[in-house]
Amino acid sequence: MLSENAKAEIEQLKGKYPDPKSALLPALYVAQREHGWLSPEVMRDVAEVMDLPPAEVASVASFYTMFNRQPVGENLIQVCTNISCSLLGAEHIVEYLKSKLGIDVGETTPDNKFTLVTVECLGSCGTAPMMQVNDTYYENLTEEKIDRILAELAERKG
Amino acid sequence: MEKFLLRNVGVPNSHEIDVYIGRGGYQALAKALKEFEPQELVNLVRESGLRGRGGAGFPAGVKWSFLPKGVYPRYLVCNADEGEPGTFKDRVLIEHDPHGLIEGIIISSYACEVEHAFIYIRGEYVFGAKRLEKAVAQAYERGYLGRNILGSGYDLELTVHRGAGSYVCGEETGLLTSLEGDRGHPKLKPPFPASQGLYRKPTIINNVETLFNVPFIVEHGAEWYKGFGTERSPGLKLFCISGHVNKPGVYELPLGTPMMTLINDYAGGPSKPIKTVIPGGSSTPMLPPDVLETLTLDYEALAAAGSMLGSGAVIVVGEGTCIVRLVERLAEFYRHESCGKCIPCREGTDWLYKIMHRIEHGQGREEDIDLLLDICDNISGKSFCPLGDAALGPITSSIKHFRDEYLYHIRERRCMV
Ligand SMILES: Cc1cc2nc3c(=O)[nH]c(=O)nc-3n(C[C@H](O)[C@H](O)[C@H](O)COP(=O)(O)O)c2cc1C
Ligand code: SF4
Ligand code: FES
């Protein structure tokens, strides 16, 4: 499952730390970047390169919200609904995205383009309301801004 | 006021090493290595009175002096997990002035005789992590990191490490367990990290902003630094202000500045009449508007007002906001982030959320208010790490100041606003 390149990258990461086990989170990121999510098979490969029991790798991965243990759409839309964002209308942003995408929170569009989730504070409270799509922050959201962002993302080739 | 901590923010390409050096960067490092023995630097930071900016406000130089003599290797971990809702100051420093942080880390590592330092940055800060990775690579190329830094004989490795989405990993022992490649469960203290931390070796953990202050202290001296702020809360602080204000953002002010100066003169005033202010991040007790007029932003004044300076995250809540709904949302956050290791916090945060949820949804009973306080009492001081206590601030303070609104919700089965 895991490519030879990815395995080599993980080996290299292990050398960056006084104890190679510290490279586990970075290794899981490498695996997720390659596969989009962490299937049991992929985690088993990570365990092998990391020289750790597969159950331990699965247990660590499950502790952290950023490791997807289920497949997600091409674009993972994460709307912050914590305090500063909700003071400035995060709930409305979520409702708007739900109606635009025709899905509920936690769901993926049938074309697999978008998954919608709500998340905790992303450290962008001064530019609320905001969302993160994959790695990118989109701040000071309005309906028009969301229309533009979704149109751009939908056009992008998967 | 002249800016120090934010002096490079807004300067084009401030994240590039040449721009940073062109503006006087890395000179404090050269001075530290040339003019100071490590112990002298520890003393200097102690004299400056610099207190930790991650929330607890512990004096940095005192923490450094707890390192056991003669025990090596030692590690330094910069806490860039920034997860306390309302807080976004470290992100600004990381994205706009990564070299300022790196310089602070190198000087602090030299002071603590550390051979390997880490920056633990929250996983969502992908852009910030890339900026840091690049800045670290530049610093290695120019000889500010690696072997024999600036010909001083001092060696330091610096590794950027990304977290992966977990608030409790901002707690220092949770952070270390996470950095060791485990689930981020907090550990019992003592032993404190300064004596047994990362890989059971002496470890110093400081917040981004704390370390960022150090080069300024080296450059200008402890007396200069103490010239800002109050006697017991000296120095400069970043305040992140959000919510119902006209110009939310990060502002640099001396500690002891009046709260209303921040709100009116910097943040452009409230966008609605103020209902309450949460002064130091989501876990700090909320304050009623009548105390704001005379309140100053320092550790002592906020403690005297019944709250905390915390991370410096001021959240302004305007009229028309339902307090019950707001507190329910925070209760949901703490329930979600409880790591489950100890029962008072795991069970307690779950109950608190369920009760808040039923009050918010018109199914509350009058006894629920006492029940909430009773549960808070059972968590307070009995949880394994401070997250359990952090969950209580919004609940106890909102009941204290807005009991009427709770009662209205319960009796009328709907919002007062
Ligand atoms: C639940 C919890 C979350 C925390 N999150 C952070 C954080 O994101 N950043 C931070 O610097 N300190 C955080 N802290 C405080 C750290 O435990 C620690 O006190 C701090 O990093 C020490 O650095 P300082 O003395 O420079 O403030 C948190 C504490 C708790 C209990
Ligand atoms: S207080 Fe909460 S977060 Fe801290 S150890 Fe206990 S369960 Fe985990
Ligand atoms: S509350 Fe939404 S980014 Fe902080």
- Nearest-CA neighbor of B179 among B166, B194, B188? B166
CA A77/CA A105 separation, integer angstroms: 10
**Does residue A150 lie in a domain region?**
yes
Place A148 in a pLDDT band, splitting at 50, 70 and 90: very high
Task: Among A63, A83, A100, identify where a domain stops.
Answer: A63
Phi, psi (5° rounding) for residue B248?
Answer: -65, 155
- Same domain? For A57 and A80 the reply is no
Which helix H or strand E contains A116, and what residues bound it?
strand A114-119
What letter does residue B273 receive in the DSSP assignment? -
- Same domain? For A86 and A143 the reply is yes
Q: For residue B178, give every residue at least 6 positions away whose Cβ sits within 8 Å of its Cβ, in sequence order, or none.
A: A25, B120, B163, B166, B169, B184
CA B394/CA B326 separation, integer angstroms: 9
- Same domain? For A26 and A90 the reply is no
> Is A63 in Cβ contact with B183 (below 8 Å)?
yes
- Same domain? For A35 and A100 the reply is no
User: What local confidence, expressed as pLDDT, does residue A126 receive?
Assistant: 98
A75–B contact, CB cutoff 8 A = no
- Cα B54–B130–B85 angle (5° rounding)? 35
A148: helix, strand or coil:
helix
Task: Walk along chain B (417 residues) in steps of 10 and give the mean pLDDT of each run.
Answer: 95 98 98 98 98 97 98 98 98 98 98 98 98 98 98 98 98 98 96 97 98 98 98 97 98 98 98 98 97 97 97 98 98 98 97 98 96 97 96 98 97 90
DSSP B8-40: TTTSTTTTSHHHHHHTTTTHHHHHHHHH--HHH
User: What local confidence, expressed as pLDDT, does residue B417 receive?
Assistant: 83
Contact B328, B314 (CB under 8 A): no
- How many independent structural domains does chain A possess? 2
Mean pLDDT of A12-40: 97
- Same domain? For A56 and A80 the reply is no
Contact B229, B301 (CB under 8 A): no
**Does residue A81 lie in a domain region?**
yes
- Same domain? For A88 and A140 the reply is yes
Ligand 1 in reach of B66 Cβ (< 6 A)? no
Nearest CA in chain A to B185: A63
B82: helix, strand or coil:
coil
What letter does residue B316 receive in the DSSP assignment? E
**Range A138-143, long-range pairs (CB < 8 A, 24+ positions):** A141/A93, A143/A96
CA A10/CA A24 separation, integer angstroms: 9
Tokens 């100071």 -> residue: B36
> Is B248 in Cβ contact with A126 (below 8 Å)?
yes
For B109-182, list the strands marked E by DSSP: 116-121, 157-162
Ligand 1 in reach of B390 Cβ (< 6 A)? yes
**Does residue A102 lie in a domain region?**
yes
Spacing, Cα B96 to ligand 3 middle (Å): 19
Residues 124-143, chain B, touching A (beta carbon < 8 A): 124-127
Would you say the C-alpha torsion B83, B256, B386, B286 has a positive or negative sign?
negative
- Same domain? For A18 and A85 the reply is no
DSSP A28-43: HHHHHHHHSS--HHHH
Q: String of b and e for B357-389 (b: at least 16 CB within 10 Å)?
A: bebbeeebeeebbeebeebbebbeeebbbbbbb
Sheet-wide strand order for A131-133: A114-119, A75-80, A131-133, A136-138
How, if at all, do strands A131-133 and A75-80 pair?
antiparallel
A67–B contact, CB cutoff 8 A = yes
> Is A123 in Cβ contact with B164 (below 8 Å)?
no
How, if at all, do strands A131-133 and A114-119 pair?
unpaired
Q: What's the CATH code of the domain at A20?
A: 1.10.10
- Same domain? For A42 and A100 the reply is no
Q: What's the CATH code of the domain at A95?
A: 3.40.30.10
Nearest CA in chain A to B327: A83
CA B69/CA B39 separation, integer angstroms: 11
Q: For residue A10, give every residue at least 6 positions away whose Cβ sits within 8 Å of its Cβ, in sequence order, or none.
A: A23, A26, A27, A30, A46, A49, A50
**Does residue A68 lie in a domain region?**
no
| Averaged pLDDT of chain A | 97
For B244-394, list the strands marked E by DSSP: 249-254, 257-258, 274-278, 296-297, 313-318
Residues of A in contact with B167 (CB under 8 A): 120
- Same domain? For A147 and A93 the reply is yes
A123–B contact, CB cutoff 8 A = yes
User: What local confidence, expressed as pLDDT, does residue A156 receive?
Assistant: 81
User: What local confidence, expressed as pLDDT, does residue A158 receive?
Assistant: 54
For B203-248, list the strands marked E by DSSP: 203-207, 236-243
- Same domain? For A95 and A136 the reply is yes
Q: A76-135 pLDDT, tens per residue?
A: 999 999 999 999 999 999 999 999 999 999 999 999 999 999 999 999 999 999 999 999
Output the pTM of the full model: 0.98
**Does residue A99 lie in a domain region?**
yes
Residue of B162, B207, B212, B338 best suited for mutating to test ligand 1, as the one with most atoms within 8 Å of CB? B207
- Same domain? For A80 and A41 the reply is no
**Range A12-16, long-range pairs (CB < 8 A, 24+ positions):** A14/A50, A16/B159
- Range(s) of the domain holding residue A148: 75-155
> Is B126 in Cβ contact with A121 (below 8 Å)?
no
A5–B contact, CB cutoff 8 A = no
- Same domain? For A59 and A90 the reply is no
Check whether A27 has a pLDDT greater than 80.
Answer: yes
A118–B contact, CB cutoff 8 A = no
CA B363/CA B376 separation, integer angstroms: 20
**What is the residue type of B359?**
I
Point out which residues pair with A115 in neighbouring strands. Answer: A76, A108
**Does residue A129 lie in a domain region?**
yes
Would you say the C-alpha torsion A9, A15, A21, A22 has a positive or negative sign?
negative
* CB-side neighbour CA atoms (13 Å) of B145: 23
**Does residue A138 lie in a domain region?**
yes
How, if at all, do strands B75-80 and B116-121 pair?
parallel
A147: helix, strand or coil:
helix
CA dihedral B252, A82, B181, A73 (to 10 degrees): -120
